[in-house]
Every structure is written in structure tokens, then in C-alpha cells.
Structure 1
Amino acid sequence: MVRPYILAENTWRTVKETEYEVAVLPWGACEAHNYHLPYGTDIIEAESVAADAARQAWDHGAKITVLPVIPFGVNTGQSDVKLDMNMNPSTQLAVLKDVIDVLNRHHIYKLIILNSHGGNDFRTMIRELGLQFPKMFLCQCNWYQALDQKPYFENKDDHGGEMETSVMMHLTPDLVSPITEAGDGAAKKFRMAGIREGWAWAERRWTQVTKDTGVGDPRKATPDKGDRFFRDVTRKVSEFFVEVAKADRNDLYA
């Protein structure tokens, strides 16, 4: 069954007759996620969260179109991890500019970048492109930060841990290797206090930080935890989609 909110599934007849209020661009990454999760974890999560949140928003009257997912993210700190596919921020800026140019030309003046990868950060790009496309409302949404993980999981997840493993067990259990194959996700921290405290920053060199590419213990993950978190997080994201769709671009502040 064709989903009217998924651009790739619709024909020109449908698309040209629909007045879309907002476009959603899922953006993932292709990278190692410990020993038990597939390289496409961020891609699968981005597509799934975007689609389910858009379904709920559509059912609430928001005219959403979800664009095809961008599969490559910023993996500059993982250059020595085999086949972790890096897309530099400057390349992301060029891709994003082209996408926005199309939307702007066809009078879809709102774009939500649904981000699924911690290495991606579109804020500086949004600032720059906002000057070039003054009619556009541009924002990013990190779905994995939409809810506090504590009520759902015993161990905080940074990368390939309990949350992501549970979500993938729910979404694509056939792609998740037995949890007995997973590393413990133990990770080293910077020695510098300012970076540990969060008011200073430097990029992590991944293979110096973690022996299994994971950051976060996945061993308490279950499909039921993933189902519950996915349902709640897509509901929260869908509410944001509706807010953006209904917002007046000339009256955004209260």
C-alpha cells in the first residue's frame, strides 16, 4: 500500500496535486555498530522513525513528505575503521544546499533534517543556508535525544548500546546478531577535565576509545524495550512534525 507521506512511493499525479507543508530529510550514516548490529543501523533507524512519525503527523492533518534517506554521515574520527563511510561536512553542505534549492523552487518552505547519527551536526549549515534561502524554515531534529532514556533502559547508550540494540531488535531482528557476539561497549574518556565536563570539545579517535566500536553496554537490550521506546519516540517526533507543519513562518516566536 502506497504511503502518501513517502515521496519515493508516490507518482507524479499524486505529488503534483498535493500541497505539502513540510519536507523531512532523514540523514543517517554507514558505520560499524559493535559486533552485533549492521553497518546500516543509523540508516534503518532514520527511515523508520521518519516514516512512522510522518504517518502519525499525516493522520493529524499535517501534509508531510519524507525524502529518501541520505546514507552517509560524518565519520572523520573513524577513518581507520574498515568501510566506515565518511561524508565530510563540506560535502553535506553541498548536498543539503541542492535539496533546499529544489524545495524552495517548488514552494515547500519548511525542512526538517531528521538526524540519526551523532557525528552529524547541521547547525552551522542551517545558519549559512538560511541566509541564502530566506523564505525557508530550516531545522534539525535528533530523534535519539527526543526522550530521556532512563525510564526505558538500564544502560545509557551512545553508540550501539542498549537503546540502539533494542530498537533494531524491534525493527529488523533478522539483522541483529546474537547478543552473545556483542562487545561490552566499554569506552575510554578524555583525560582533560574540560572535555569530560562538556564545556570543551575535541573529536574522539574511535579505535583509541573503544575496542569493539560500541559505546554503551548492549547486553540488557530486548525487543520489548525497543518497541516501547520506538512507539514513544515516534509519537514525540510526530508532534514536532505537526508543530512545524502548522507554524506560521512569519510568526515563530512567543
Structure 2
Amino acid sequence: MTDKIRIAHLTSQEAREELDADAVVLLPMGSLEDQGIHAPMGDYMAAELMADEMAKAARAEGLKVFTAPVIPFGGKDYFESSHGGISISHATLVAILDDMFACLDRHGIRKLMIVNGHGGNVPAITEVTLRWRQKAGLFVPSMYLWKVSYGLLPEILGKETAAKSSGHGGDPLTSVGLHFYPDLLRPDLMRPAPTGARVKGMEVSGFSSVRYAGADIQVPIEALEATETGVYGCDPQLASAETGKALTERLVAIGVGLIRDHVAPGLSD
């Protein structure tokens, strides 16, 4: 088996030889948006590197795993207000995923797993994976890295610290960034999330909600209306490379287990 992990690095002859029915392909995807004024906008970099780490660890167990090129642009949501950010419509993201599945399926590459780093991608992933299960028997799991991480942080940091560090612009992504690419972050710009944002006289309670009469009401607001720094509900100063390393190790272990126990043996109906 070739030492190359990324499909983009394979020659066409290597692709013919390596990407057979036993090959597992990881599809990383993320976004290009405000991750806090201290962090690089491209959270897709973390998803791509995480997929690479999963593939390497799976290879060490004798599994034939490759990573596809990352989808760097996330599905549109309230972060479209990010200056310099690039997002794509739900329909476009669905079409991209649909075409990727079709290309791989055409060549008999059916053992797939999505490594996702953006909440705005979830609706498109749900639509496409369900459609392909219904029409072709593919069963493609998706590992939403940061949702899984929120469940792991209390074990790593303790419940009290995790509650303070967890949130947009904080953990898990800031710690993972400090682990993977510390030179791209600006610790000098880290500060706790601003509070007190209001829209139409109502307290902002989330990136798409306000509080009225004690209830959270969904409203059409944008991220910049909730926080001018991109940080919400947390303190990124509590993030660390050590936490990022611990999270990465746990996420990779979960991903490799899923690949080994379910994806590689075949999840097709």
C-alpha cells in the first residue's frame, strides 16, 4: 500500500491500484468564517488535518484509508456577516456532496465517512447521505468534530472550566488550532466574549435567537449582531495547545474506531 494519504497526491495509476472496493475515503469539510478575532477563519484546515490524522492512525492498524480534498466553504448561515468569509448556499453544497458521492460510487468506492467541522454543513450532509442510502444503499456516517468535542471537554478540563472555555471562538476549535497551527493564531487578541448584545430591544441569546418573556425565540439575525469579536459565550484565553492535543487524540481514536468497526467492514444496506 502506498504511503500517500491524500487522494490529491496519488498519480492516476496509483489511484487505479489503491482506490478499490476495500478503500475507505474520508471526506473532510468545514468553513471559512469568523472564528474569533484571534483565530484563522479557515476552520476547514482543522477538519482536513483531523481527517489526515485519522487516516494515518487507521493505516497503522492495517486499514486502507485515504482522505479526499477538503470542502473549504461552509453552508450559509448567520456567519455570512464575517468580513472576508465565503459561504455557499444549501443547494450548492448539496450539489457538491451529491456529485462527490456519484463520482466515487461510479468507481466502486463506497466506504465513505464525512469528517465535518461546521454546523452549517449538517443540513446538506443529512439530505445527501439519506438520499444515497435510499437510492444506492450507501450508509455514510458523519462525525461532526466540534459537537463530539463539547462532550469530551468536561472529561479533559473538568465541568467548571469546560463550561467557561466552550463556545464559538473558544474551545474546542481554538485549542485544536493551538495544537495544529499555533503560528496562525493571535493570543494577544484573545479576550472573553462580549455580553449585553440586543436586537430590537431584546437580549440576544444565541447566534439566531433572542430572549423574550424567558423564552428563546428564533429570529433572523447575523453573527455580528450577537458578538463583535466572533467569540460567544466563552473565554478563549482558557484554550491551550495541551487541550487541543488531548482533544485531537480522543477524536482520532473515536474516528479510527468507527472506521475499523463499521466503515471498513462495509455499512451498505
Q: How many residues are aligned here? A: 244
TM-score, length basis structure 1: 0.86
Return the alpha-carbon distance in structure 2 between the equivalents of residues 244 and 195 of structure 1.
41
Would you say the 8 A contact 2:112–2:263 is kept in 1? no
Distance 1:73 1:211, change over 3 A: same
Q: Which amino acid aligns with 1:150?
A: P
Q: CA deviation at 1:204?
A: 5.4
Distance 1:220 1:98, change over 3 A: same
TM-score, length basis structure 2: 0.82
Would you say the 8 A contact 1:146–1:236 is kept in 2? no
Residue 82 of structure 1: SS of its match in structure 2?
coil
Match for residue 190 of structure 2?
182
Would you say the 8 A contact 1:43–1:116 is kept in 2? yes
Return the alpha-carbon distance in structure 2 between the equivalents of residues 115 and 226 of structure 1.
17
Q: Which amino acid aligns with 1:128?
A: R
Q: How does 1:82-121 map to 2 (within 5 A)?
A: 82-121=83-122
Return the alpha-carbon distance in structure 2 between the equivalents of residues 203 and 27 of structure 1.
25
Match for residue 124 of structure 1?
127
Return the alpha-carbon distance in structure 1 between the equivalents of residues 23 and 239 of structure 2.
37
Structure 1 residue runs of 4 or more that deviate by more than 4 Å after TM superposition? 192-196, 200-204
Match for residue 259 of structure 2?
241
- RMSD between superposed Cα atoms in Å: 2.3
Q: How does 1:220-235 map to 2 (within 5 A)?
A: 220-235=238-253
Return the match for 2:211 from 178, 191, 195.
191
Distance 1:185 1:175, change over 3 A: same
User: Identity over the aligned pairs, expressed in percent?
Assistant: 25
Match for residue 75 of structure 1?
76
Distance 1:202 1:67, change over 3 A: farther
Return the alpha-carbon distance in structure 2 between the equivalents of residues 81 and 56 of structure 1.
35
Structure 2: any 5+ residue segments left out of the alignment?
196-203
Structure 1: any 5+ residue segments left out of the alignment?
none
Return the alpha-carbon distance in structure 2 between the equivalents of residues 141 and 194 of structure 1.
33
Q: How does 1:205-220 map to 2 (within 5 A)?
A: 205-215=222-232, 216-220=234-238
Would you say the 8 A contact 1:23–1:112 is kept in 2? yes
Q: CA deviation at 1:186?
A: 4.1
Q: Which amino acid aligns with 1:222?
A: S
